[in-house]
Amino acid sequence: MQTLFIATSAVAIAEIGDKTQLLSLILAAKYRRPWPICLGILAATLVNHALAGAVGVLVAQWLTPDVQRWLVALSFFGVGLWTLIPDKMDEDGAARGVGHGVLVATLIAFFIAEMGDKTQIATMVLAAEYHPLWQVVAGSTLGMLIANVPVVWLGSRFAARLPLKAARIGSAVLFTALGFWILLR
């Protein structure tokens, strides 16, 4: 269960203020239908993070344990620095799926927005280090839902009160601490 907890907390913190969280807010404001938006986020994240986790596991099989440990630690340090940089949302992201229904629009927009995102990279790195894979994918998906579902349900009022700078700093500290923990264990 440690893997599930680490993946959940790392991704939930990293997601605060991320472009996919902003996308959740845009979708909520545009469609005002939280259930299909939340289901679209769930489905897109499960598929995206399962693929990222599988890549992480494959890469981990080709590396020696020492090389893997250093790469994972350096990746955590990199993601920690990356979280300090505020994301800017491409406003066309929510409009791409118009006409296909709220669920499909959310699924497509969220899947595309998550490609190459820091939470996808974090999932890949977590899967390379922690096992079993299903706990990494379940935890990273749960972390995405913890960060995005309140935004969908509470809308712009919630996002306006969120201390994004503090969240980015906290996320950076978490990823840096995980990097040091991996190096020292």
Residue 26, CA distances (Å) to 83, 95, 118, 165 in order = 21, 10, 20, 20
Helices (H), the chain: 2-15, 19-31, 34-62, 65-82, 102-114, 118-129, 133-161, 164-184
Q: Give the model confidence (pLDDT) of 123-172 as tens digits.
A: 999 999 899 999 999 999 999 999 999 989 987 555 456 566 776 787 67
Domain that holds residue 47: 2-184
Residue 94 confidence class, pLDDT cut points 50, 70, 90: very low
- Considering the chain, what percentage of its residues have pLDDT values greater than 90? 41
What's the pLDDT score for residue 165? 73
Asked if 155 and 102 count as a contact pair (C-beta separation under 8 A), the reply is no
Please report the pLDDT score of residue 87 as a whole number.
Answer: 56
Total number of domains constituting the chain: 1
Helix, strand or coil for residue 155?
helix
Q: Give the closest residue to 74 by CA, choosing from 157, 183, 174.
A: 183
* pLDDT score at 163: 66
**How far is CA 125 from each of CA 20, 54, 75, 101, 129, rounded to the nearest angstrom?**
19, 10, 7, 34, 7
**How much is the average pLDDT of 80-84?**
77
* Beta-carbon count within 10 A of 49 CB: 29
Phi, psi of 171 (to 5 degrees): -65, -45
Distant-in-sequence, close-in-space partners of 133: CB < 8 Å, separation ≥ 6: 53, 54, 57, 127
